[in-house]
Amino acid sequence: MNNKNIFLNIIGSLLCFIMFCVGMLYAEQVPLLILVGIVGLSGFSYFVYRIVTVTIANHK
């Protein structure tokens, strides 16, 4: 994986984390934001998994 893909994974993880934060902060006002928070947390986990997997593969 090249640097562009790693950069996109980092951007994706940041966006998903922001989605999670917004979803959890404003879930009381708009119940639909609970789903946004769940999707954001799932996406964040996915991108962190990809970053760690690629880093371990490149380290060996």
Produce one character per residue of 5-42: b if its CB has 16 or more CB atoms within 10 Å, e if not: eeeebeebbeebbebbeebbeeeeeeeebeebbeebbe
Model confidence pLDDT, tens digit, residues 8-55: 999 999 999 999 999 999 999 999 999 999 999 999 999 999 999 988
> 17, 15, 14, 37: which is closest to 25 by C-alpha?
37
Q: What is the pTM of this model?
A: 0.87
> Does residue 1 carry a pLDDT above 70?
no
Q: Which domain holds residue 15?
A: 3-59
Give the chain's domain count. Answer: 1
